[in-house]
Amino acid sequence: MNAPEKIFLPDVQSSPDTRFLAIQNVGVKGLRYPIQFQSADGSVLATVATIAMTVGLAADVKGTHMSRFVELLEAGRGVVSQDGLFRMLEEMLMRLEASSGRIEMRFPWFIRKAAPVSGAESLLDYDAAFIVDKQEGRYPTLSMEITAPVTSLCPCSKKISDYGAHNQRSHITLSVNLRALMSLDELVRIAEEEASCEVFGLLKRPDEKWVTERAYDNPKFVEDLVRDIALRLMKEPRVASWRVISENFESIHNHSAYAELHGSNA
């Protein structure tokens, strides 16, 4: 049997476009893919990332080649580091013949924690993201984001009550644009250390006593949380700019308390 003849398939995406409107971001979004991330300490965590990959499209080109984004992930299977994300971005721009682009990976990040008294170990999950971005004529940038669950205890409730104080679980989100590499674990610790108390996956009775009393001794409004964390980030030389968000899921209301603060470091 003779080999099948090559069939010519037209490349419609590369055809000219007469509307002459450049597109800032075009690509794939909502792509879930298994990823292994390497931490700054060399440890590796396997997780599943939800990925968005986009490039800028020239005004005279009809479309981008969507399959090349997935091909890039397939070619780069293995361990991904923060430095590796820059290399992936450059490879994407080369393959798509683009001068600007963005890769965003969102994923659950797990940290093994020891309970404060018993030392019982368990994993706690955090929402995390890495974003690499390059605009035409500029250097590429790396952003990092984490959302950490913590406990907050209301100072007003403690002050006006004869006993007790209302407390709740809060989500603190830190987004930072980096000048130098910084680990996700470091960002998590900043959020947890400035909360009324951190949370754990596993606690024994002595641990429950400790975290309850820790929160009571360290009351904070939602405003206190974002201000105290901001002061920490303002002193961090590896951070170029930052955003802090705290959402307290109120235990005595059917709504959240919310605060957001952002700035940049000279």
User: Residue 5: pLDDT band by 50, 70, 90 thresholds?
Assistant: low
Cα separation of 84 and 148, whole Å? 25
Q: Which residue has the higher pLDDT, 218 or 19?
A: 218
Indicate whether 160 belongs to any domain: yes
Residue 221 located in a structural domain: yes
Confidence of residue 171 (pLDDT cuts 50, 70, 90): very high
Q: Tens digits of per-residue pLDDT, 186-198?
A: 999 999 999 999 9
Residues 6 or more apart in contact with residue 53 via CB below 8 angstroms: 27, 28, 31, 69, 72, 92, 101, 102, 103, 104
For position 161, what pLDDT does the model report? 94
**Which domain does 249 fall in, by range?**
23-264
Query: Looking at the domain assignment, is residue 44 inside a domain?
Result: yes
Average pLDDT for 80-100: 92
Residue 16 within a domain: no
* Residue 4 maps to a domain: no
Tell how many helices (H) and how many strands (E) occur in the chain: 6, 10
**Predicted confidence band of residue 8 (pLDDT cuts 50, 70, 90):** confident
Residue reference for tokens 């913590």: 150
- pLDDT surpassing 90 at residue 27: yes
Q: Please determine, for residue 10, whether its predicted confidence score (pLDDT) is greater than 90.
A: no
**Could you identify the residue written with the tokens 């404060």?**
116
Residue 247 is part of a domain; what is its CATH number? 3.10.270.10
Residue 162 lies in a domain: yes
pLDDT digits (tens, 9 = 90+) for 126-142: 999 999 999 998 999 99
What pLDDT score does 3 carry?
A: 58
Residues 36-84: tens digit of each pLDDT? 988 767 788 899 999 999 999 999 888 888 899 999 988 877 788 888 9
Residues 153/156/157/163 CA torsion (nearest 10 deg)? 100
Provide the number of structural domains found in the chain.
1
